């Protein structure tokens, strides 16, 4: 069964490093929800329905309670009762999550919330251009717990400007004391067109790799096992929706910039907000260009790259091992991957070099 992703591209303001499809301000939310309903209505629900749901952004929690209710209704029109899905995640930022919205999400059947923290030091959060400070995160986290959520992810970042190792470890301990079920850890990437890029801020891959290693050990001690390059979870708390991506499963993406992968074809919606709204309202199909059907070697290569993101690696059929024997052989001799029978995986101490591994298969 496919997963369903819904993109909400609004944030109160843009963070300095943000390269995601999001715009500052809430002025077009109602028009966007109308367009989203039109796009959702243009799809035939798969015969067995959807397996998982992920409402991401942007900042979905920015929606008012009324808008949130509308979003949840248009979602359940597609999925049926949200509580029946195997997993239903909602992304939130602390500044826009309150008791009323947490209650709405819970009663609609949302089972998992992903909350942005990034760092526990307010000076670093200000440097990132974040609105919420550490105390706001703590308040939002407690609000979610009080509403009954027992599956919370927190996003954390490393390799930040002015971030010392001690800051990072302090963020980690501060967060772990709250006992989240899942942590996603991302190294800062500086993309062209962002304020950080204009300021000349550079990435810190070595510092990030060290912080990842320290985090992996500390998190494991705290009961959160690394299961993907950037993701750590307690038992039975892996992100099922994201695992489906890494297993090259099918999914439907709705909203500006969202991608779908259905029946072997990948399609992506336009990222431009106004183009999305007008074309979705016109005919329910706000696509950017034509779809792309991956076949043969390209499809297998993508499957390997996605599968190698998981720490358990990927089990390959004999013919694929033969077809990629040169690439696999090179990576083995460089000591970047290991192979046990049909399973190949990136060595645990080389996960920070995953991009170099993936380049072999591009
Ligand atoms: S909250 Fe996330 S999506 Fe919104 S501006 Fe910041 S980084 Fe971008």
**Nearest-CA residue for atom 7 of ligand 1:** 18
**Nearest-CA residue for atom 6 of ligand 1:** 15
Residue 362, pLDDT score: 87
Residue 92 confidence (pLDDT) above 90 = yes
In tens, the pLDDT along 303-340 reads 999 999 999 999 999 999 999 999 999 999 999 999 99
What is the CATH classification number for the domain harbouring 307?
A: 1.10.10
Q: Is the C-beta atom of 11 inside 6 A of ligand 1?
A: yes
In tens, the pLDDT along 65-78 reads 999 999 999 999 99
**Domain-terminating residue out of 186, 221, 246:** 246
The answer to whether position 148 is within a domain reads yes
The alpha carbons of the chain give a radius of gyration, in whole angstroms, of 20
In tens, the pLDDT along 214-228 reads 999 999 999 999 999
Ligand 1: distance of its center to the CA of 155 in Å? 12
The answer to whether position 66 is within a domain reads yes
Do both 36 and 136 map to the same domain?
yes
Of 218, 204, 135, residue with least CA distance to 169: 218
Q: What SS3 class is residue 47?
A: coil
Q: pTM of the predicted model, to two decimals?
A: 0.96
**Domain-terminating residue out of 246, 264, 288:** 246
The answer to whether position 289 is within a domain reads no
Q: Is the C-beta atom of 57 inside 6 A of ligand 1?
A: yes
Domain span at 354: 296-359
Confidence of residue 290 (pLDDT cuts 50, 70, 90): confident
Cβ atoms of 346 and 308 within 8 Å: the answer is yes
Do both 46 and 160 map to the same domain?
yes
What is the CATH classification number for the domain harbouring 25?
A: 3.20.20.70
What 105-108 contacts at long range (C-beta under 8 Å, 24+ apart), as own/partner pairs, is 105/68, 105/72, 105/147, 106/147, 106/148, 106/149, 108/72, 108/76, 108/82, 108/83
Dist. CA 252–CA 230, nearest whole Å: 23
Q: Is the C-beta atom of 128 inside 6 A of ligand 1?
A: no
Q: What SS3 class is residue 303?
A: helix
The answer to whether position 102 is within a domain reads yes
Domain count along the chain? 2
Q: Is the C-beta atom of 96 inside 6 A of ligand 1?
A: no
Residue 65, pLDDT score: 98
Residue 197 confidence (pLDDT) above 90 = yes
Task: From the CA of 22, give the closest atom in ligand 1.
Answer: 3
Dist. CA 262–CA 267, nearest whole Å: 8
The answer to whether position 206 is within a domain reads yes
**Nearest-CA residue for atom 8 of ligand 1:** 18
């Amino acid at each position: 069964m496919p997963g369903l992703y819904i993109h909400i591209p609004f944030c109160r303001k843009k963070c300095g490093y943000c390269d995601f499809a999001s715009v500052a301000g809430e002025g077009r939310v109602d028009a966007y929800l109308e367009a989203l309903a039109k796009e959702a209505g243009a799809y035939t629900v798969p015969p067995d329905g959807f397996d998982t749901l992920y409402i991401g952004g942007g900042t979905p929690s920015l929606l008012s309670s009324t808008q949130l209710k509308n979003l949840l209704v248009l979602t359940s029109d597609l999925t049926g009762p949200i509580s029946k899905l195997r997993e239903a995640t909602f992304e939130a930022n602390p500044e826009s999550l309150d008791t009323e919205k947490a209650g709405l999400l819970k009663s609609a059947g949302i089972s998992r919330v992903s909350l942005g923290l990034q760092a526990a030091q307010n000076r670093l959060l200000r440097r990132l251009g974040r609105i919420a400070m550490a105390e706001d995160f703590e308040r939002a986290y407690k609000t979610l717990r009080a509403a009954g959520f027992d599956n919370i992810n927190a996003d954390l970042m490393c390799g930040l400007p002015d971030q010392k190792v001690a800051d990072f470890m302090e963020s980690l301990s501060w967060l772990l004391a709250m006992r989240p079920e899942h942590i996603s850890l991302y190294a800062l990437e500086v993309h062209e067109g962002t304020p950080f890029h204009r300021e000349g801020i550079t990435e810190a891959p070595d510092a990030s790799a060290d912080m990842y290693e320290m985090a992996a050990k500390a998190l494991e001690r705290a009961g959160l096992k690394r299961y993907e390059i950037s993701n750590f979870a307690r038992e039975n708390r892996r992100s099922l929706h994201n695992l489906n991506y890494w297993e090259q499963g099918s999914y439907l993406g709705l909203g500006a910039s969202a991608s779908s992968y259905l029946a072997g074809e990948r399609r992506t919606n336009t990222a431009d907000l106004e183009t999305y709204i007008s074309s979705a309202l016109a005919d329910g199909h706000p696509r950017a260009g034509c779809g792309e059907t991956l076949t043969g070697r390209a499809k297998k290569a993508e499957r390997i790259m996605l599968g190698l993101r998981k720490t358990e690696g990927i089990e390959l059929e004999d013919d694929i091992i033969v077809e990629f024997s040169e690439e696999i052989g090179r990576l083995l001799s460089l000591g970047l991957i290991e192979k046990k029978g049909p399973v190949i995986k990136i060595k645990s101490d080389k996960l920070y070099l995953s991009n170099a591994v993936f380049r072999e298969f591009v």
